[in-house]
Amino acid sequence: MPGFCQPVRHMTRTEKLLAELIALPSVNPAFLPPRHPFAGERRVSDFLASVAAHAGLEVEFHDVLPGRRNFIARLLPRNKIQQTILLAPHMDTVGADGTKFIPQRKNGRLYGRGACDTKGTIAAMLEAVCELAGSKSRPQSAQIVFAGLIDEENAQAGSRALAASGFKADLAIVGEPTKLQVITAHKGSLWLQLQTHGKAAHSAYPHLGKNAVHEMAHIVDAIESDYAAQLKKRKHKLLGAGTVNVGKISGGTQPNIVPDACTIEIDRRTLPGETETSVRREITALLASKKLSAKISSAQHAPALALETDHRLPLVQKFLRSVRQSRPAGVNYFCDAAVLAAGGIPSVVFGPGDIAQAHTVDEWISLAELERAKDLLTGFFRSLP
C-alpha cells in the first residue's frame, strides 16, 4: 500500500496492522463477478504470513479452494506441547465500493470494510501473538495457533477444511465482533424449501384444477403464525427462542392458468440440539394437523448448526476470568465456531467491535476496544502454562 506504511504518530502497532489489512481487499468471491480484482483472501494471507514470519512464528498455508488457502501461524512453546489454543478469525469480508478499502480514522474509530468483521480481530489476535513471541514471559508448554480462515461469509469452506483435516485444539477462540464478550452459544441457520403440487387447468374452469398457490398461502400462514408461536414457547438460557422466516415464494406462470406448483424457502434459526431432521418433523406434523401437505427439501449446501460450548470447561473458565466476565453469553448469528465445535474443538467466539456495524456501508471499530482486545488476549496467553 504505497503511501500508507509511513509510521503515523499516535498509531499503535495493532491499529497500523488493521489499517494495512483494510487496505487489502479480500471480498468473498461469492459476492463478486468472476475474476474481480477485490476477490479472494490471497493478499491478506500473504501479508499476514510476512508479518508472522518476521515475528518468528512458524508459518504454513493449507489449500482449500482453487487460489484460496487458510493461513496458519504457530507460536511453539519451549517445552513439550501440552495444550493448544487456536485463534480463528476469518479473512474474507462482504463486498463494498472501492472507497471502503481506504482506512479512515475519525473520532477514535477506524472506518473501512472489514474493520470489525473481522480484520479488527485478526489484528488484535496476531499482534498479541507477535508480542508474546518477542517477550520472555511466553507460555512454556502451551502452543498458540493463529488460523486465518477463508470463506466464513459464504460457505465456511475454511473452517470446514480445518475441522476435516483432523486439527485438534483444547480451545478455539473464533474471531467475530462480540464487543469483547466471550460467547459460548449461538443459533444455527437452517434453510428449507417447501413445495406444493396442484393440478393445472384453464382459469375459466378453476374447479377442474387444484391451485398450488392457494395451498401454499395456507402453509405460509401456518408457518408464520402457528409455527412461530410454537417456537416462542421453547427458550434457551442464553439464546432465547428459535425463529422462522418465510423469505422467498414463487409459483404459477400466468393469471389464466390454475397454478400446479408453488415453492417457498424458509430460514429457521435453530437452538442447540435442533437438527434438520427434528425441524422437518415439526413442520410436517404442523402441516398434517391442518390437513396441508408439502414436499420439504434442504435449501443449503452445508449444515449450519447452533453452538453450545460448556462454559464450565477449565479453559473456558480461565478465558472468562481473564476478560473479567462472570457469565457466558450467546448471540443470534451463526459463525465458524459451530463448525470447529462439530469437529471436536471446544469453541467460543470473541472479538472487538459490534456486529451492528458489520456488513454496513460505514463499517467501523473503536480503536480503544481494538487495543483492549489485544491486551485481554495477551493477558490470557500469559496465564497459560
Q: Give the residues lining the site for Zn ion (CB under 5 A).
A: 117-118, 176
Measured from the CB of residue 90, what is the shortest distance to Zn ion in angstroms?
6
Nearer to Zn ion, 156 or 211 (CB): 156
Nearest to Zn ion of 176, 369 (CB atom): 176
Query: Which of residues 26 and 118 has its CB atom nearest to Zn ion in the complex?
Result: 118
DSSP state of 41: S
Cβ at position 111, least distance to Zn ion in Å: 17
Residue linked to cell 518476521: 54
List the beta bridge partners of residue 93: 27
Count of CA atoms in the C-beta half-sphere (13 A) of 130: 19
List the one residue out of 312, 314, 340 whose CA is nearest residue 327.
312
Classify burial at 35, counting beta carbons within 10 Å of its beta carbon; exposed 0-12, middle 13-18, buried 19 or more. Answer: exposed
Number of H helices, E strands in the chain: 10, 20
Q: Give the CB-nearest residue to Zn ion.
A: 117
C-beta of 27: minimal distance to Zn ion in Å?
A: 13
Least separation in angstroms between CB 106 and Zn ion? 23
E strand spans, the chain: 58-65, 68-75, 83-88, 104-106, 109-111, 142-148, 171-175, 183-186, 188-197, 201-202, 235-236, 240-241, 243-251, 257-258, 261-270, 295-298, 307-308, 329-331, 347-350, 364-366
What spatial distance separates the first Cα and last Cα of the chain, rounded to whole Å? 39
d(CA 355, CA 180): 11
Give min distance, CB of 117 to Zn ion, in A.
4
Report the nearest approach of Zn ion to the CB of residue 249 (Å): 29
- Could you tell me the smallest distance in angstroms from the CB atom of residue 378 to Zn ion? 22
As a whole number of angstroms, the distance between CA 327 and CA 71 comes to 32
Work out the number of other CB atoms within 10 angstroms of the CB of residue 56: 12
DSSP string, 307-357: EE--TTSHHHHHHHHHTT-SS-EEESS--HHHHHHHTT--EEEE-SSBGGG
Dist. CA 22–CA 110, nearest whole Å: 10
C-beta of 266 vs 349, nearer to Zn ion: 349
Give 204 or 361: the residue with its C-beta nearer to Zn ion. Answer: 361
Q: Residue 154 or residue 195: which is nearer to Zn ion going by CB?
A: 154
